[in-house]
Amino acid sequence: MPVFLDTTSADFETAFQTLLSAKREDSPDVDAAVAQIIQDVRSRGDAAVIELTAKFDRLDLTPETMAFSAAEIAEAVAQVAEDDRAALELAANRIRAYHEKQMPADHEWTDETGATLGWRWSAVSAAGLYVPGGLASYPSSVLMNAIPAKVAGVERLAIAVPTPDGQVNPVVLLAAQLSGVDEIYRIGGAQAIAALAYGTETIASVDKITGPGNAFVAAAKRRVFGKVGIDMIAGPSEILVIADKDNNPDWIALDLLSQAEHDESAQSILITDDASFGQQVAQAVDKRLETLQRREIAGASWRDFGAVITVRNLDEAAALSNRVAPEHLELCVADPATLSTKTLHAGAIFLGQYTPEAIGDYVGGPNHVLPTARSARFSSGLSVMDFLKRTTLSQMTPQALRAIGPSAARLANSESLEAHGLSVIARLERLND
């Protein structure tokens, strides 16, 4: 049973704090093992990756077979059903169109002193994308990570997709092809992250690594950060639905289950201003769990981390949502646009009862790689900005240096950085000759 909370109850604040502080992240003691794997890959390169792939994925590779060949990709892609291809192409086109609009512009101007200032955007040269593998892999994750990288202008994009027992999802390879991926390696785990970060004899290192993974992948991304950039350390999926009574309880139940079925540690929360409606949704969840294919996973998530919260009004609902800062936020209310202006902390907001979160996972257009574990309070979902760098530009004319140079020299002197000041003064003295 999920927890049922009511903001009018005397113990609500205590119960809500308990809900917020529930530890859902997997916490196996993997860091020491990951550190050893990374060091092994750094020391032995291909040999370490091949041995670890045989150990964990039961797949024997050679340096020549670590990457899928063009012929292998073509053969796999040919197996994809036409309807699946059409759906994937639709998703790719919408995701690309959305992210193209995110591209920032270079800017340059001359200020009142005559100095020319500005900034310029440029893409990272190479990026690596991790894709959870096997037959239970996610083609949508390929699109969501690879397309923004290519839109940003990344020249080389490599993906690592583990293929345990040699199994690969052909739709994943098609997604990579549609996204413009340049290299596809059949390796996974911490060893794949290490290979992408530090390089091996066969795999060239990258500048940034993105993509989801298990606890070993997350620990490896933490350890290589600094050597390369990373997108985020993602936790279990989560959804918060704010709904009034003028909704179909079964629809809302399915929205809650759409995240619960991801992971036993996922969290689904309903906030409503009608207690009776909350009960109807909970009953609808129970009924759907009788037949849902992933009912064991979804049921455990709903039982251990689900919640139904009754509030006095929608303003109170928005305030609670901001404290949760959910990965996904659905606003199934009469005026979702107005309510959305009050929900300030969420990875993605889905407005209205005809916008289920699942649309955002596949074909909406915005990215589905989003901040979890309340990190939407201070971070954003994946975008082209994750693959871009901003470089500032400045050019002084003689008159500009005369105008602002003396202040720079004084500030350098105040910090006891003599050479800093002298580098400016030497030029001013020449100008004053």
What mean pLDDT is predicted for residues 417-430? 96
**Does residue 384 lie in a domain region?**
no
In a shared domain, residues 247 and 225: no
In a shared domain, residues 131 and 155: yes
Helix (H, G, I), strand (E, B) or coil at 129: strand
Q: Decide if 134 contacts 59 (C-beta within 8 A).
A: no
CA distances from 91 to 136, 144, 212 (A): 19, 9, 19
Residue that terminates a domain, selected from 364, 387, 406:
364
Classify each residue of 17-45 as buried b or exposed e, where b means 16 or more C-beta atoms within 10 Å of its C-beta. eebeeeebeeeeebeeebeebbebbbeeb
Checking if the pLDDT of 148 tops 90, the result is yes
**Segment 20-54, tens digit of pLDDT:** 988 766 556 789 999 999 999 999 999 999 999 99
In a shared domain, residues 278 and 166: no
Checking if the pLDDT of 189 tops 90, the result is yes
Report the number of distinct structural domains present in the chain.
3
What mean pLDDT is predicted for residues 337-355? 98
What mean pLDDT is predicted for residues 418-432? 95
Which tokens is 196 given? Answer: 């992408």
In a shared domain, residues 262 and 180: no
**Does residue 224 lie in a domain region?**
yes
In a shared domain, residues 141 and 285: no
**Does residue 81 lie in a domain region?**
yes
In a shared domain, residues 62 and 133: yes
What mean pLDDT is predicted for residues 349-372? 97
In a shared domain, residues 276 and 211: no
Residues with catalytic function: 327-328
Classify each residue of 60-91 as buried b or exposed e, where b means 16 or more C-beta atoms within 10 Å of its C-beta. ebeeeebbbeeeebeebbeebeeeeeeebeeb
Taking Cα atoms as reference points, which of 316, 61, 4, 318 lies closest to residue 188? 61
Checking if the pLDDT of 135 tops 90, the result is no
Residue that terminates a domain, selected from 165, 198, 230:
230
**Does residue 140 lie in a domain region?**
yes
Residue 131 sits in a domain whose CATH number is 3.40.50.1980
In a shared domain, residues 275 and 221: no
**Does residue 389 lie in a domain region?**
no
Residue that terminates a domain, selected from 209, 230, 251:
230
In a shared domain, residues 198 and 57: yes
Q: What is the domain range of residue 92?
A: 31-230
**Does residue 351 lie in a domain region?**
yes
In a shared domain, residues 184 and 38: yes
Please report, as a single letter, which amino acid is at residue 99: H
**Does residue 202 lie in a domain region?**
yes
**Segment 201-218, tens digit of pLDDT:** 999 999 999 998 888 999
Is the pTM higher than 0.85? yes
Which tokens is 245 given? Answer: 């009574």
Checking if the pLDDT of 389 tops 90, the result is yes
In a shared domain, residues 94 and 223: yes
In a shared domain, residues 330 and 300: yes
What pLDDT, on a 0 to 100 scale, did the predictor assign at position 84?
96
**Does residue 260 lie in a domain region?**
yes
What pLDDT, on a 0 to 100 scale, did the predictor assign at position 28?
64
